[in-house]
Amino acid sequence: MSIKITYFVHGTTTDNEKGLSTGWRPGELSELGIKQAKELGNLVKEKFDAFFCSDLKRASTSAQLGFADKYKIILDKRLRECNYGDFNGLAEENIDYKKYIDTPFPNGESLKNVEERIKNFLNFLKKDYNNKHIAIMAHKAPQLALEVLVRGKTWEEAIKEDWRNTKSWQPGWEYTIE
């Protein structure tokens, strides 16, 4: 059994440009984000058997702009960003992800809760998408959860090595589930 995943992140949002953590708020793509989403669709030449997306607006809009002409976009709430609870919409610089690995954000969820959601999603893929190539459009915390679940990193390692720390964006990250 093997499932190949190509993971995409949504385009830049107005919150991103203001340095805010959107969390479970819908989020609006900025002009740059709209451009990025359209360009990503043109950059990606791979063919996917299915295209899954977070149901949060910023991700679903990115997927629609870049890929709706090629794929049916399947929304799945398990792919949502971490619920930062009281911190949804606060300054990114004030969020210490390491403090919320096991402990939920006030009135929100922990990174381990996100890991459980993604684990549930991966089990669904194993059952229904064996030997398929799947695309996912989502957010930071679900991608970090993939680093933990698929690549065997600790949460501390995933946070420290996150591409966002060095602004090392690329048009998709590859993961393989065996």
Ranges assigned E (strand) in the chain = 3-9, 50-53, 73-75, 133-138, 173-177
Q: CA quadruple 137, 140, 144, 145: dihedral positive or negative?
A: negative
Active site residues: 10, 81
What average pLDDT does range 58-81 have in this prediction? 97
Domains, the chain, with CATH or none: 3-177 (3.40.50.1240)
Whether pTM > 0.85 for this model: the answer is yes
Residue 39's CB is within 10 A of a number of other CB atoms, namely 14
| Neighbouring residues of 80: CB distance < 8 A, sequence distance ≥ 6 | 24, 54, 55, 56, 117, 138, 139, 142
* The two three-digit tokens of residue 94, written as one number: 């004030």
Q: What is the pLDDT of residue 1?
A: 80
Reply yes or no on whether the pLDDT at 94 is more than 90.
Answer: no
* pLDDT band at residue 19 using 50, 70 and 90 as cut-offs: very high
Q: In this prediction, what percent of the chain has a pLDDT beyond 70?
A: 100
State yes or no: pLDDT of 95 exceeds 90: no
Residue 123 has pLDDT above 90, yes or no: yes
Residue 131 CB neighbour total at 10 angstroms = 9
Mean pLDDT within 99-104: 98
pLDDT of 80 strictly over 90: yes
Split at pLDDT 50, 70, 90, the class of 178 is confident
